[in-house]
Every structure is written in structure tokens, then in C-alpha cells.
């Protein structure tokens, strides 16, 4: 259900409860901000003491206001919040911004006050931001409740951290960017991130949505909302905390949030087309890139600079980022020569060799030629351009004109141009940005932007969960044999096996399956650690001895005799699924065997996925070339592996009681894929 957030961002009237005359209080910041919008709407300040605050009358309570406030900001001690919200809803408020913190705990009657208040708000048909939030901001509405520091611009920011929002704001300003809206999420008792994303996706001035989240709440709802926004043309950027154990520890201590596993967050981003970043700088850098029109079709980049050093350094950084620097075509080289001195180099990177000083228009001319070149997908200008006007004021106008022509060339050709300049705060840099060209102060950021636009960096092509209605599935009874049978039922082939309880049955199974076989104690969760697995039994003698030894050590029980697979003939994968508390079933595939830990080569997706998505998931592994027949080997049966991965994903999605599931290894050979071991962990077991 999409919530109507008009009363939150564009209210006809606002009341600030807890408005303060003390400039050190947040209630003062909120009141000052609210009053700045007094020419757009009615603004009322509420303070029990009455009197006057910031030159405006202070009303003792909401009930004393001359008109009903559409938005009520609540900045009062925790104990009074419930009462104030009741009062607000009573006088007809449609949106609450709950700044107050500390009422998430249960009261003396064991009631969760935060949940109760949120429920009251929903029943009243209103919405609530927070509690424990720092306010809202809407640039075009001139709604400023706490965030006057934000300049206007195309970014909508939804954040669970005030100081990070401040850093993002400063970085955005340095990149000549600003904000359309800001919402401090707080504890998300009522409105959650997904609600904000849904609203921002249809907010005309918003061209990119930036999220800082520690708690994803209903993760699938967020994924759906972000996917809708992305498809509708508004990219979503996510900076998420708690990706590592230390980060998670911090996040838990910060908002009491249950932090989602970092891999589940990654899967969610892949599913929704969200661009995931790790730092505030990366977020603003990516926003600048995504706000530009350029979307290169490939990863062939042309670099140009005045001075070879910058071209050399940029070339190395580009190559390290997986981008290509092809030589230019002869016709491009010939065309370039006409604009450059004889000493210039017109291979890629192009080096003006001092040609800049002979006429700054050459920056635009060369840029246009490279943007037009068929052999090139994107262009990087790196180095000094932007500094002519700063260091030699007489050149300022010529440089500005060249910047304008260069931006025009990018717009007219539809090509992708990214600029790195030592002078990123110059008027020339600002002119380029106004013309839609992303400009960065360090070459690594410019290259990261190119990699992002070329789809070489997060998120890549979305890995969308299948939109299917799966009938709920009963989980298997606990036990190894039961897990095997369950997997076989849903379509994951496992190596041939027999469940045995006596020595005689074991030897019969050995003969029937064909030696060599393995013997496994079925009841242990981590069988190999308990000494419950004996591999490579080559005949009756070996199997019999192993049976005696294992039953003597672990006691009589059902054992599994299994045909040994020839692992050297294929590649071992790990296929698994986990239930994430926020994002639900997540399917995982990775390289198995002895190199698994070193490579840490794992790909994840929200479950369920179909066979073709499963194949893309497998092929996204770094080890994928091994499956296609590296070093003269024949290609392996990737389709069979994909079938198993898809089956696992469907099972995990249909059976919520499955907490963890591993098929490890899944041996992929030239003619199929077969699981050699399996494990299922259920909730509540």
C-alpha cells in the first residue's frame, strides 16, 4: 500500500510542539526552520509555558491553535509523546514528525509505546516519521524542519544518521549538487524506507534517491519500491551500515536495529538495481555520475590531457578498474592531428603536449572528435583543464567558453564524458557540471564514475527474483537422510546412496553402488568434524572396517553409504540458501573445494530465481571460466548446475521454516551436476 506523504512534505500548516527559545535546543532549530516557511503556510509554535518564541506567539497546547495543523512536529520529553500525538490526531493532523527519542521501550504495563503510537497514527489515517528522527526538508515547498543547511538540488536523501546526512550535504555542495527532499527516518515505527522511496519516485524534482540505512525493516518491500523507482528512471543509491561484524555491532548499538547480513543486502541491491556504495564520498560521486545523461554502451575509454603524466596515471587507473583503452582509429588520429601541435600524441591517451596553451578551444574540439569516434564508448578528460583561468585570469573567459562547447559536444553527440581536474572547485568545473558533465577532483573518482556508468561496478544488471506463486512447502523432518530425500524431491540430484543400519546392509550397499564408496554418520550436523565421514573405501574389507569403527565410536545408528564421485573430473560449487530476517530467502552459489576460502567467490540473489537467472548468477562468479573449459578442458554442464540452484532457491522461498540449507559440494561435470553432501537447518529445531 503506497502511503500518501503529501501532508509530510507539503503540508498546508505546521505546528512545532516543544518549540524553544533556547538556541542550543533542537526545538529552537525546528521552530526557526518552520518559521522560514511562514510565507507558504501557517506555522504555529507550541510550548506549555506559552509566551513568545522567536517573535511568534507560543501556544500552550495543540488544542489552543486557531486552525488545525496538517503536520505536527513533536519534540518533547519521551513521557509526553503519546499524549501529544493523541492530541495531534485529535485536532486532525495528517502527518507527525516524531523527533523525540527514548520511548521505544516498554512502559510499566509491558506495552511497547512506540508500536502503540504508530498503530494509533495508522488508525487515524495519518503518517508518522520517527520517532528518534531529526526532521524533514522539501526544497521546492520551502519546508525546513531542522535542515536549512541543505542546498536545493536533484538528490532526495533518506537517512538514519544526522551527521552522515551533514557530510553528504557538504560533499554534494562541493560537487555543485543539492537536495530536493530530506527525511530523517529514525526508528521507522510507522513510515519505513520503502514508503519514502515510493513517494520520492514520483516526486518531480527528485532525480536520484540516496539512502543511508542501518535497519531495512521489510526488505522485500524496499526492494520492490527501489526497483519501481529505478525502472521509472530514478536511480537509487544505498549506503548501508553494518556490513561487517564490527559494523553490525556498531549498528546494533546505534538504533537497536537487527542488521541484515551483508550478502543479503548485496542480493537485495542486485535484485532492485540499487547502486550500493561504501562511503559518503562514493555516494555523492555516484550521484553526480548518475545525474549526467551519459550511458556508455561498452567499456572502451579515450583519455585526453595536456601533459603525458596525467594520461599515463589515468590509463593505469582505468585498466585497474576493468575498463579498456583501445588505440584510436586512423581516421580519428588524422582528425585529431589537425587540432594539436606536431609534438602531441594522438594515440590513446591523447597528450596535447603543451597544445592547451595554443588555444583552449582545442579541449572542446578534441573532446568532440573523441565523443564522435565509433571505436570509443566514453571519454575522460584529466589533469589541468580548469586551472588555466585560475592560474592565468586572462584565460578565464576562453576556458569557460571551451568548457561550454565541450559540454555542448557531450550533449549533442549523446556521448559519455567525465572530467577529472586538479581544479574541481573552479568556475570552469562548475560550468561543465551545469552542462551535465560530471567533474571530479581526483582521477580515481572519475574512473569509478566511468566504471559505474559502463556497468562495470555495482550494481550491474539486476538479478530479479522470479515473480511466481509458490505453494507453501512442509519442511523435512530433521536428519541427513530426510534432507537428502527432500532435496531429491524438489529436483536437486544427489549422488546415489543407501541408508544402512547393519554391517551386512552396508556391504550390500557397497556392492550395489560400486566401489569406491563413502560412509557417513547421518545424524551429525557437521559430520566431518565429528569424524563421521570416511571417504574412498575401495572394497568390502575397507567398508566393513570403517563401519565397525564408526559405530563403535559414535554408537549404532543409521549410516549412509554413498557412491564416490570423481571430483577431479569437474568443478565443485557450493549451493545454499539462508533465510534473512529482513529480506527473506536468499540463494547463494560459490566456488567449492580447496580454493573456496582463498577465492571467497560467492554470488547471491533473492529467492526464488528461475533457471536463466541462476545461470547468470553462476556465470557472475570469478571462477566461471573454469566451468566453460579453462585450459583446454571440455565445457561443463552449467545448465544442470543452474537447474539445481533454481530448485534450491524455490525450495527456500516456499519453505519459510528452512533457516539454512547447503548442498556442498555440488559437483558439476560435463554431463550433469550432482550434490555430494547436504545439510538443512530448520527454525525452532
**Per CB under 8 A, which of residues 243..262 are in contact with a second copy?**
243-247, 249-251, 253-255
**Per CB under 8 A, which of residues 437..476 are in contact with a second copy?**
442-444
Q: Which CB atom, from 50 or from 354, has the smaller least distance to a second copy?
A: 354
Applying CB under 8 A, the span of 121-129, 193-201, 349-357, 675-683 interacting with a second copy comes to 349-357
Provide the minimum distance between the beta carbon of 549 and a second copy in the complex, in angstroms, as a whole number: 18
Residue from the set 231, 278, 477, 525 that interacts with a second copy by CB under 8 A: 278
Q: Which CB atom, from 12 or from 26, has the smaller least distance to a second copy?
A: 26
Q: Is the dihedral of CA 431, 432, 437, 439 positive or negative?
A: negative
Residue from the set 77, 151, 556, 625 that interacts with a second copy by CB under 8 A: 625
Provide the minimum distance between the beta carbon of 631 and a second copy in the complex, in angstroms, as a whole number: 6
Bridge-based pairing state of the strands 584-591 and 571-580:
antiparallel
* 390 contact partners, CB below 8 Å, separation of at least 6: 396, 423, 426
311 binds a second copy (CB under 8 A): yes
Provide the minimum distance between the beta carbon of 292 and a second copy in the complex, in angstroms, as a whole number: 21
> Can you tell me whether residue 104 is helix, strand or coil?
coil
- Gap between the Cα atoms of 593 and 89, Å rounded: 61
515 binds a second copy (CB under 8 A): no
Applying CB under 8 A, the span of 116-124, 221-229, 241-249, 464-472 interacting with a second copy comes to 241-249
* Helix axes 113-123 and 78-90, enclosed angle (nearest 10): 10
Would residue 217 be called left, alpha or beta, if left means φ above 0 and alpha means ψ between -120 and 50 degrees? left
DSSP string covering 179-193: EEEEEE-TT-SSS-H
Instruction: Find, among 63, 121, 66, the residue nearest to 95 by Cα.
Output: 121
Q: Give the DSSP letter of residue 527.
A: T
- Gap between the Cα atoms of 126 and 590, Å rounded: 46
CB atoms within 10 A of CB 239: 22
CA 641 and chain centroid, separation: 27
- Gap between the Cα atoms of 658 and 532, Å rounded: 24
- Gap between the Cα atoms of 64 and 60, Å rounded: 7
Bridge-based pairing state of the strands 497-500 and 416-421:
unpaired
309 binds a second copy (CB under 8 A): yes
348 binds a second copy (CB under 8 A): yes
Q: Which CB atom, from 251 or from 651, has the smaller least distance to a second copy?
A: 251
426 binds a second copy (CB under 8 A): no
x/- mask, a second copy, residues 74-113, rule CB under 8 A, reads: ----------------------------------------
* 76 contact partners, CB below 8 Å, separation of at least 6: 17, 18, 84, 100
> Can you tell me whether residue 58 is helix, strand or coil?
strand
Q: Report residue 372 as a C-alpha cell.
A: 564522435
Residue pair 479/522 in contact by the 8 Å Cβ criterion: yes
Provide the minimum distance between the beta carbon of 250 and a second copy in the complex, in angstroms, as a whole number: 4
Applying CB under 8 A, the span of 119-127, 189-197, 298-306, 538-546 interacting with a second copy comes to 298-306
Q: What are the distances in angstroms from CA 536 to CA 384, 404, 497, 510, 542?
A: 66, 73, 14, 12, 9
Residue from the set 11, 18, 186, 387 that interacts with a second copy by CB under 8 A: 387
Total number of residues binding a second copy (CB under 8 A)? 81
Provide the minimum distance between the beta carbon of 281 and a second copy in the complex, in angstroms, as a whole number: 4
Output the 3-class SS for 295-319.
CCCCCEEEEEECCHHHHHHHHHHHH
x/- mask, a second copy, residues 42-81, rule CB under 8 A, reads: ----------------------------------------
**Per CB under 8 A, which of residues 174..193 are in contact with a second copy?**
none
Provide the minimum distance between the beta carbon of 621 and a second copy in the complex, in angstroms, as a whole number: 9
Applying CB under 8 A, the span of 69-77, 85-93, 608-616, 622-630 interacting with a second copy comes to 622-630
Provide the minimum distance between the beta carbon of 581 and a second copy in the complex, in angstroms, as a whole number: 18
Residue pair 432/379 in contact by the 8 Å Cβ criterion: no
Provide the minimum distance between the beta carbon of 60 and a second copy in the complex, in angstroms, as a whole number: 28
Q: Report residue 453 as a C-alpha cell.
A: 556508468
Output the 3-class SS for 216-267.
CCCHHHHHHHHHHHHHCCCCEEEEECCCCHHHHHHHHHHHCCCCCCHHHHHH
Residue from the set 115, 347, 477, 538 that interacts with a second copy by CB under 8 A: 347
CB atoms within 10 A of CB 393: 9
**Per CB under 8 A, which of residues 592..611 are in contact with a second copy?**
594-595, 597-599
572 binds a second copy (CB under 8 A): no
Applying CB under 8 A, the span of 59-67, 344-352, 455-463, 670-678 interacting with a second copy comes to 344-352
Q: Which CB atom, from 280 or from 576, has the smaller least distance to a second copy?
A: 280
Q: Which CB atom, from 159 or from 560, has the smaller least distance to a second copy?
A: 159
**Per CB under 8 A, which of residues 126..165 are in contact with a second copy?**
149, 159-164
Residue from the set 61, 80, 140, 345 that interacts with a second copy by CB under 8 A: 345
289 binds a second copy (CB under 8 A): no
Residue from the set 405, 422, 464, 495 that interacts with a second copy by CB under 8 A: 422
Amino acid at each position: 500500500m503506497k502511503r500518501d506523504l503529501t501532508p509530510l512534505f507539503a503540508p498546508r500548516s505546521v505546528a512545532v510542539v516543544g518549540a524553544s527559545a533556547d538556541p542550543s535546543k533542537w526545538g529552537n532549530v525546528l521552530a526557526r526552520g518552520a518559521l522560514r516557511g511562514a510565507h507558504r503556510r501557517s506555522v504555529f509554535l507550541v510550548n506549555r509555558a506559552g509566551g513568545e518564541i522567536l517573535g511568534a506567539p507560543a501556544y500552550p497546547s495543540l488544542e489552543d491553535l486557531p486552525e488545525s495543523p496538517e503536520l505536527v512536529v513533536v519534540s518533547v520529553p519521551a513521557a509526553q509523546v503519546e499524549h501529544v500525538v493523541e492530541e495531534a490526531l485529535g485536532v486532525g493532523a495528517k502527518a507527525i514528525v516524531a523527533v523525540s527519542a527514548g520511548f521505544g521501550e516498554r512502559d510499566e504495563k509491558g506495552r511497547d509505546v512506540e508500536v502503540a503510537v504508530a498503530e494509533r497514527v495508522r488508525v487515524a489515517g495519518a503518517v508518522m516519521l520517527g520517532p528518534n528522527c531529526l526532521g524533514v526538508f522539501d526544497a521546492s515547498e520551502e519546508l525546513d524542519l531542522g535542515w536549512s543547511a541543505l542546498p536545493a538540488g536533484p538528490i532526495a536523501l533518506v537517512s538514519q544518521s544526522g551527521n552522515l546526512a551533514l557530510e553528504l550535504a557538504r560533499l554534494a555542495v562541493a560537487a555543485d549538487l543539492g537536495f530536493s527532499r530530506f527525511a530523517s527516518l529514525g526508528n521507522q515505527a510507522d513510515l519505513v524506507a520503502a514508503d519514502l522511496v515510493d513517494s520520492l519516485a514520483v516526486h518531480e524534482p527528485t532525480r536520484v534517491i540516496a539512502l543511508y540505512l542501518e535497519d531495512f525493516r521489510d526488505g522485500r518491500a524496499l526492494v520492490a519500491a527501489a526497483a519501481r523507482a529505478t525502472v521509472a528512471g530514478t536511480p537509487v543509491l544505498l549506503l548501508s551500515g553494518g556490513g561487517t561484524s564490527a559494523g553490525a555491532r556498531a549498528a546494533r548499538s546505534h538504533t537497536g536495529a537487527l542488521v541484515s547480513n551483508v550478502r543479503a543486502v548485496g542480493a537485495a541491491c542486485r535484485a532492485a538495481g540499487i547502486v550500493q556504495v561504501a562511503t559518503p564520498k562514493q555516494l555523492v560521486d555516484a550521484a553526480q555520475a548518475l545525474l549526467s545523461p551519459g550511458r556508455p554502451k561498452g567499456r572502451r575509454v579515450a583519455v585526453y590531457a595536456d601533459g603525458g603524466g596525467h594520461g599515463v596515471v589515468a590509463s593505469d587507473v582505468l585498466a585497474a578498474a576493468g575498463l579498456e583503452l583501445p588505440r584510436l582509429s586512423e581516421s580519428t588520429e588524422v582528425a585529431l592531428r589537425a587540432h594539436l601541435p606536431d609534438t602531441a600524441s594522438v594515440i590513446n591517451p591523447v597528450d596535447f603536449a603543451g597544445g592547451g596553451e595554443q588555444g583552449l578551444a582545442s579541449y572542446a574540439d578534441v573532446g568532440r572528435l573523441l565523443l564522435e569516434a565509433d571505436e570509443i564508448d566514453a571519454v575522460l578528460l584529466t589533469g589541468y583543464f580548469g586551472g588555466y583561468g585560475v592560474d592565468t585570469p586572462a584565460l578565464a573567459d576562453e576556458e569557460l567558453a571551451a568548457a561550454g562547447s565541450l559540454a555542448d559536444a557531450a550533449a549533442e553527440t549523446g556521448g559519455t564524458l567525465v572530467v577529472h581536474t586538479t581544479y574541481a572547485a573552479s568556475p570552469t568545473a562548475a560550468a561543465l557540471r551545469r552542462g551535465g558533465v560530471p567533474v571530479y577532483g581526483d582521477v580515481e573518482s572519475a574512473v569509478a564514475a566511468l566504471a559505474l556508468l559502463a556497468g562495470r561496478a555495482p550494481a550491474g544488471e539486476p538479478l530479479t527474483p522470479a515473480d511466481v506463486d509458490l505453494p507453501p512447502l512442509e519442511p523435512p523432518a530433521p536428519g541427513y537422510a530426510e534432507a537428502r530425500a527432500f532435496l531429491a524431491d524438489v529436483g536437486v540430484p544427489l549422488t546415489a546412496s543407501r541408508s544402512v543400519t547393519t554391517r551386512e546392509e552396508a556391504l550390500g550397499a557397497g556392492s550395489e553402488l560400486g566401489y569406491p564408496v563413502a560412509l557417513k554418520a547421518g545424524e551429525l550436523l557437521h559430520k566431518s568434524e565429528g569424524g563421521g565421514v570416511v571417504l574412498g573405501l575401495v572394497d568390502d574389507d575397507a567398508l566393513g572396517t570403517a563401519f565397525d569403527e564408526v559405530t563403535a565410536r559414535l554408537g549404532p545408528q543409521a549410516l549412509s553409504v554413498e557412491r564416490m564421485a570423481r571430483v577431479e573430473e569437474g568443478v565443485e560449487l557450493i549451493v545454499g540458501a539462508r533465510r534473512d530476517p529482513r529480506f527473506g530467502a536468499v540463494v547463494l552459489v560459490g566456488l567449492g573445494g580447496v580454493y573456496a576460502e582463498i577465492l571467497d567467490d560467492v554470488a547471491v540473489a533473492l529467492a526464488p530465481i528461475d533457471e536463466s537467472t541462476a545461470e547468470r548468477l553462476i556465470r557472475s562468479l570469478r571462477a566461471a571460466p573454469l566451468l566453460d573449459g579453462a585450459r583446454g578442458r571440455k565445457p561443463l554442464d552449467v545448465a544442470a548446475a543452474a537447474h539445481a540452484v533454481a530448485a534450491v532457491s524455490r525450495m527456500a522461498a516456499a519453505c519459510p521454516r528452512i533457516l539454512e540449507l547447503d548442498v556442498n559440494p555440488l559437483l558439476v561435470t560435463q554431463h550433469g551436476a550432482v550434490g555430494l553432501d547436504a545439510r538443512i537447518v530448520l527454525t525452532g529445531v
